[in-house]
Structure 1
């Protein structure tokens, strides 16, 4: 899809309109395809060295999310009062957006990095009590309804790893990206450790083995 990068600022040149000033400071807009099937495209708006990331749905809904991100990044509260002005701004963003790759999104970058760290640094164990403690480990389990093997990793350990990696994307988006990359299942399900349910990420052994981890001699937990 071609992009018209010559679009004129929709707000009059002499005006000091808030959105006119923001548009003048936009360096580029990259749109990336949705991670989840039902999601909208994601827009990465580059402004003065910062990147504000919003979905198409968030842009269409109104200026609320954009104002929050702008305040977080620039310390300034935006006064955007007219609905028509906001939608002029959104149409401009859509018009100049250049299509990027899914791999460029912060969620996918974080997903790749976290998966790599799990494969390299996490211990393979048959001791489920370690899941209960939220340790950096994973167990190989057999899911009885479909007799499929999974590597289960405590969610607490993944969240901590996400913080250590400096992931910019919310953990929910990272989870969706890992699913889209074929690293994990759709659900973050529970695993019982000594009778106590522990929320875990269910990774696909095939993905781990393709990374180079040998699971051939590992005992299966039923």
Structure 2
């Protein structure tokens, strides 16, 4: 599955300065729009927390998870482009400070476990891919999309990715050392294809696409 994290950058500072109801209304509107884009592109909203969204794309089966990766990347591009080029001009026209956004994503095996107690529980998503996708999001600056090595290897060819300046991440245990790379996603190149991709998928399960 492709794990995607989208969030508003420095929204904590905004909640410090702005009226609480205004900040909540703005976050609600943006997360609703994020959710709509994810669902139109065949993804699933797996969590909403404050100013961020966690979504999953796939698995599609039959070795076609590249479709899920393409849909996830398009969702990131669509979300950032909509804020920067559609929402922010309207906010500025009302003398409201513009928003900033970023995204992180990765691909790999993911396990769903219901955790908690009999009186209170939720489905928890566990795996290296979602964990690293969250790290990618934290690594990203405003208007950046950062992806993990698993997703980059799935999307072979083209010039969509370049290795991140702070790549790789090093993991070490019991004397063994391994690395795993971060990649910048040049998402602006996906913008011309957003509408056609949304029209093609049209909210259908990604596993049904050819």
Q: Which has the larger radius of gyration?
A: 1
Higher relative contact order (CA 8 A, sep 6+): 2
- Considering fraction of residues, name the structure with more strand: 2
- Considering fraction of residues, name the structure with more helix: 2
